[in-house]
Amino acid sequence: MVPGHAVNFVVCQLFALLAAIWFRTYLHSSKTSSFIRHVVATLLGLYLALFCFGWYALHFLVQSGISYCIMIIIGVENMHNYCFVFALGYLTVCQVTRVYIFDYGQYSADFSGPMMIITQKITSLACEIHDGMFRKDEELTSSQRDLAVRRMPSLLEYLSYNCNFMGILAGPLCSYKDYITFIEGRSYHITQSGENGKEETQYEKTEPSPNTAVVQKLLVCGLSLLFHLTICTTLPVEYNIDEHFQATASWPTKIIYLYISLLAARPKYYFAWTLADAINNAAGFGFRGYDENGAARWDLISNLRIQQIEMSTSFKMFLDNWNIQTALWLKRVCYERTSFSPTIQTFILSAIWHGVYPGYYLTFLTGVLMTLAARAMRNNFRHYFIEPSQLKLFYDVITWMVTQVAISYTVVPFVLLSVKPSLTFYSSWYYCLHILGILVLLLLPVKKTQRRKNTHENIQLSQSKKFDEGENSLGRNSFSTTNNVCNQNQEIASRHSSLKQ
């Protein structure tokens, strides 16, 4: 990161944290109207954007404003397609301009970062309105029905959702219904089904305090920032392609340094995403319900789970816990809505959304191969290592090591950005994991998912059952993630029923 921009980002987020505390204390939904909360959240967000990015922040209003006009003019039948093309195209133009005209290779708090989040929100909401106002209920999956928006948002609601101060700089993405529920103060209303099966009775549950969750997340931020400032700079990923290192290091040394250098590159993401989550929580947004022990859960829009990431024993487990909200977005706007090669299309969309650096495309193309190979390996071998427990422990240790190396190998181009250094790295490893992945796919039987057929045939049979199960599972974790996008055809198992409109 460019130091000045990084400082700007941190200062703005700390200001947003203080503003969130003030917002929850003095502009609580019980004390003021939704209109005031929308106005204040929007104005604070635009102020932060203007302070951090200058007049480049106008792109946020232009992108949101034109998208809103498209929704109004085009109509609910096709607006999700037009909004998708425009928002992603506008984002790509801005990314091309920034990368190839201004500061190629510089990781700065650039204005395209917030635009990535706004693009997610624009496209998600367009799909949710299309589902709620055009498609029939029986055509929707249970998760699509949960998120469907039944009326067109006002311009103020739209701008508040896209540009509120809690998520303008670093997100995370949230659904429109969850955000409106928070603004209107219905996050703690529990809905019970009446005798006819319809939602009728509502009562208000005591509002839990987010203070404990916020403090815990700020501690994680502090440790992540300390780790990034002290250790990360001494373990650069670029050293993996240093000529002297490649010529003199043994293979065990190369493997260990690859893992450690990519491990050291993650804390900056831990810091940014956890701080963004803490800001939302401090404002009172992010409450999911209560776990089996009665403890409040503030992970409705959390973007990662650090312990599960670092202890991942499979490619699936790693991706399930990394950038969770983006994975959900990819599932909802791409994977569930395409009939041709959904896995490949999802990875391509992810690469386009991330930016125009060639390294992104190398990482996501490699990711497709690694995902399919890991799926084949898991399906063919895992059941042999379930029992006894000692064998399962041995399997977990081996798969943890393989997974960490495979993830590190895959994301090196994402950090190096350019084609030449990325191919230099892969050639120094003789493309060994690429070759191994191809051999796995050629030699091992791959189970057909029959995704479209099974999904279509089973939706109508299972919708009512899944919907009832979702009603009764307040504490369950409903996050579906990138590898769920690619490996599973399940619907999100449950969503907290108090967040439904």
Which residues are designated catalytic? 323, 354
Dihedral, 405, 407, 408, 413 alpha carbons, nearest 10? 140
Residue 241: what residue type?
I
Question: Which backbone phi and psi does 322 adopt, to 5 degrees?
Answer: -115, 130
Other CB atoms closer than 10 Å to residue 105's CB: what's the count? 9
DSSP string covering 148-185, please? ---SPPPHHHHHHHHH-TTTTTT-----HHHHHHHHTT
CA quadruple 387, 393, 398, 403: dihedral sign: positive
Q: Which long-range contacts (CB under 8 A, 24 or more apart) does 429-435 make?
A: 429/254, 433/370, 433/405, 433/406, 433/409, 434/366, 434/369
β-bridge partners, 203: 190
Tokens of 406: 């495979």
Number of H helices, E strands in the chain: 22, 4
Closest CA to 474 of 453, 500, 452, 438: 500
Chain centroid to Cα 486, Å, comes to 15
Residues 117/101, Cβ–Cβ less than 8 Å: no
Q: What does the alpha-carbon distance between residue 121 and residue 176 come to, in Å, rounded to a whole number?
A: 8
Q: What does the alpha-carbon distance between residue 489 and residue 501 come to, in Å, rounded to a whole number?
A: 26
Q: What does the alpha-carbon distance between residue 478 and residue 469 come to, in Å, rounded to a whole number?
A: 12
Residues 68/129, Cβ–Cβ less than 8 Å: no
Residues ≥6 apart with Cβ < 8 Å to 4: none
Coil vs helix vs strand at 456 = helix
Q: What does the alpha-carbon distance between residue 292 and residue 295 come to, in Å, rounded to a whole number?
A: 8
Q: What does the alpha-carbon distance between residue 300 and residue 174 come to, in Å, rounded to a whole number?
A: 8
Tokens of 399: 């798969």
Coil vs helix vs strand at 302 = coil
